[in-house]
Amino acid sequence: MARKIEINWKSIGARVAITLDEDVNADLIEPLWAALPYRTLQGHALVAGDCLYHVPPAHGVLHAVPDYRTNRQAVPSGTVSCSAIQHLSIKYGTLTEPMPTAPIGRVEQADIDVLAKVGQAVWDSMHGNGEPIIAEVRRLGGPGGHSVRRQVCQAEPVRELVDKIAAMSEAAMVEAPPELIELHQGRRFSDAGTRDSVLTTLVFVNGETRPLGYMTYTNLAKAARSVDIPLSGLIEMAKLLLIKPTEFLGYCGLEALWELTQQVVSALGAVTEREDFIALMEQMALYVNTLGAWNLQLFPWELEPSKWNYRSAGGRSSHV
């Protein structure tokens, strides 16, 4: 019997059932199945079209290699995919981004029409009333709940830090961290923002947070699974890559992230096993990707002009 999951958006009275296709991309399905149940902020694509996505606490999707990829524009509505940037996405209409996708299943036909309702509600949440919509994900017919799996670590300092990061991720998946709320409300913790500007700081925070999670932590975790790269080299590379962007983010107001990063770099001194290194990188990827999701939810999109005219300004966008 095929495995099925359910996504429930209680605040808008909507749910869908999803049948997982274990004939393709089983290496993506397994970590997702193991992570159930969980709750997480529901997001909506901002540049790709009609696509819902959220961050699942499934560490294994960061490094799993899909057996099958296809053009996301060509798959039918209701297609569910997983990606290495820790997204579970559902196409529900027209997509403009011709990127490859790794399908893992499909929304049951009886629930397809629900997706448009959910998509509109999430879009309105991000661009209108600002009330976040939480997705509750579980095995169909199984118990609900919410947790982030802790990997087994050998070194005690690493194990304690992994537990701490996982607990912070559990909280951040369902509720925006206070420093992000303060930042997006213009109440800054530092002098970031030249001449008391706020929007510039928000743009830079988003611009640093996304690649930190999607690329840096994710690729360090991937690289650690390569036998050709010595652990000592991975540790030195992590120290080089992690400090500068998070020091800047700490200056902008994400002090908890900066403090956590310093603890990660310090704990690397106790790492003697590759699995401990992987555990730190994967847990931090989840935490940072969750912060990135909240950046997009809290961003003041109401400042976006309704219409832009590119040509009238001689190659520069102008509001009309």
Q: Express each pLDDT in 207-254 by its tens digit.
A: 999 999 999 999 999 999 877 899 999 999 999 999 999 999 999 999
pLDDT of residue 305: 64
Cα–Cα distance, 14 to 203 (Å, whole number): 32
**Tell me, which fold does domain 4-139 have in CATH?**
Cyclophilin (2.40.100)
Low-confidence ranges of the chain (pLDDT < 50): 310-313, 315-320
pLDDT of residue 194: 83
For residues 98 and 74, is the Cβ–Cβ distance under 8 A? no
pLDDT of residue 196: 80
pLDDT of residue 317: 41
* Boundaries of every domain in the chain: 4-139, 156-302
pLDDT of residue 311: 44
List phi, psi (to 5°) of 21: -100, 95
Question: Considering Cα of 296, then 300, then 303, then 307, what sign does the dihedral take?
Answer: positive
pLDDT of residue 145: 96
Amino acid (one-letter) located at 222: K
For residues 274 and 151, is the Cβ–Cβ distance under 8 A? no
pLDDT of residue 309: 52
* Axis-axis angle for helices 274-298, 231-252 (nearest 10): 20
- Global pTM value: 0.93
pLDDT of residue 188: 64
For residues 297 and 41, is the Cβ–Cβ distance under 8 A? yes
* Closest residue by Cα to residue 216 from 85, 312, 41: 85
- Beta bridge partners of residue 260, listed in sequence order: none
For residues 205 and 254, is the Cβ–Cβ distance under 8 A? yes
pLDDT of residue 304: 67
Cα–Cα distance, 276 to 152 (Å, whole number): 8
